[in-house]
A and B are shown apart, each in its own frame.
Chain A
Amino acid sequence: MTRTPRPSTAGRALAAAAAALLALTLLGNGLGTAARWSDVAPLETQAVGTGSLDVVLAPARTTLQHTDVDPATGAVGRGATDLTGTADTLAALAPGDTVVVTTRATLDVEGTNLTATLTVDPAVPAGGTVVPRVDLVPVSGALPLSPGPGPASWTVTAAQDGAAYDIVVAYDVSADPSAQGTTVEPGPLTVALTQN
């Protein structure tokens, strides 16, 4: 009997590599398709823009309302003196005297569903030389503002966009006799508009 000689080890490895290459080639051509379907539909979108929130103050006016004797007639009357722009201390104030600071605030409240709180801070300590009063007066048909959550505060909506209001802060000299001879240096009167 003739025995068929067995292939060598190197020959078997070569044969295996060739078979694997053949299989990969066949399989790679069999996955997917060479031609594919596709489609594109545009999505309708709207432009998106941000709103705005701002307050602009006009230059302030300062007046002193004072009760005094008319030198000509001797009659007692109440008068007002314009002190706009003065940087000097207002001296020798008496009970009944009132220093009135007025500024016009123009609101910029633009934005869907945007609400904010307008707050006025007279910037004087309580129980001192003067007692502040804050009032808000609509200008040129502006809608009145509803009161806000705190003192001297109002709620603002987008409906007030562009509206102007006169902010009137009256500093009444205290009627308390202990206020005699005292001085107060207020900080800046601050008008703040804060988004709710």
Chain B
Amino acid sequence: MSQYRTPTAYVLGVLVLLAVIVLTTPNGGTHARWSATGQVDVPAMSAGRIGFEVGGTEGVEHSATLTNTSGFGVGYRPLQVSLVDSAGRSVAPPAQMRFAYRTGADCGDARSAARWTAVAPGASALVAVAGESRATLERDRPAAICLTVSADAVAEDALRPLAGQVLQVVTRLEAVSLGDGTWSTTRSWTVPFTVELPPEELPAEDLPPEEQPPVTAPDRPVATEAARCGGDHSAALLRWSWTGDPGAPAVAEWQVLVRPAGTTGAPTPVRTVQDGGARDIRITATDLLSTAHLPSQDYEVLVRAVLSTGTTPHLDSAYAWTIKAPGKSGHINCEGLPS
């Protein structure tokens, strides 16, 4: 064993020598460093919260006052509009119902250009308001917004189910921060709107001479027989005649309209046949129950020729048929003769 002690000691000695050399050689860095600092105070910063309020405007119908509660300026615009009835149910605005929004000094001036407009496509509960532009709403300076609803371009038939109802027009307004527009919030604004039908057309023979339809206007359709109810009382068959006239407008479709017996209101369409050559049509108790005339049981019925062209849009027969639909039995009874 002793013969190995000398080499081992020699190696250990070399290693110790190398370690001393490495540890004592300067590496270019310093372990103690100089440093200096300076400081500047920065104020505390508090972010606001976007918001606005919608209030009524006294004495101005269909107008609201918007008040900015954000503490900074915002831009706003109406996003969409919808209708609800008195029971709170959603009502699809009829096609071509128009909504026009004005702001500021233009409020109440129906001749001024609307800031935003929306036109109902029909069969859709929500109507998008066109345009991406926004009006500004300053801090501490309220602004006025007005709404005009027009049903002038709506087909009379589409308006009739809503006639006389007081609907609520609900507009969803959106406010967006001015800077980057990344903060936004919405509010609802509701105004009442009563659907009014245009004056009912008088029968041609009741019109004054200057308003008589042209001589080319065809005759009114005429019921040819009493309504026929089958043995199971599930439907009634109505027949009529139509003479038309050479050169007169063609019939685009036939409609059956009903109203409660003994009333004078506008009738409600219950069936439509898009075949100008049709001369009969079947209606069921379900058709009658689908009208807004519940709980009526007795109905007066007429048939309408909807013309494709010409100055007279349609021609109605007299209330030629009387039909009874007792309760919700689903049965239908035919009564009386064509008048």
Contact = CB atoms under 8 A, between A and B. Distances in A.
B34 to A, nearest CB: 4
Interface of B, helix, strand, loop or mixed by DSSP: loop
Nearest to B32: A195
B251 to A, nearest CB: 56
A59 B141 CA distance: 38
A55 interface: yes
A91 B41 CA distance: 17
A56 to B, nearest CB: 7
B224 interface: no
Contacts, number: 166
Contact of B183 (A123, A177, A186, A196): A177
A171 interface: yes
Interface residues of B, number: 36
Interface of A, helix, strand, loop or mixed by DSSP: strand
A186 B44 contact: yes
Contact of A94 (B43, B72, B136): B72
Contact of B138 (A71, A83, A196): A71
Contacts of A53: 34-36
B311 interface: no
Contacts of B75: 76
A103 B40 contact: yes
B180 interface: yes
A189 B42 contact: yes
A97 B48 CA distance: 11
Nearest to A123: B42
A86 B48 CA distance: 19
Interface in B131-156: 136, 138-139, 141
Contacts of A190: 37-39
B183 A57 contact: no
Q: Which of B38, B47, B183, B184 has the most A CB atoms < 10 Å from its CB? A: B47
B178 A68 contact: yes
Contact of A87 (B34, B36, B43): B43
Given A69-B136, A97-B179, A129 B47 contact: yes
A189 B40 contact: yes
Interface in B104-139: 136, 138-139
B45 A95 contact: no
Contacts of A189: 39-42
Nearest to A193: B36
A160 interface: no
15 contacts: A67-B73, A67-B178, A89-B46, A91-B46, A93-B47, A94-B50, A96-B177, A130-B45, A173-B179, A177-B183, A182-B47, A189-B39, A195-B30, A195-B35, A196-B33
Interface of A: 53-57, 60, 62, 66-69, 71, 74, 76, 83, 86-97, 99, 101, 103, 105, 108, 116, 122-123, 129-130, 169, 171, 173-177, 179-196
Interface of B: 30, 33-50, 70-73, 75, 136, 138-139, 141, 177-184
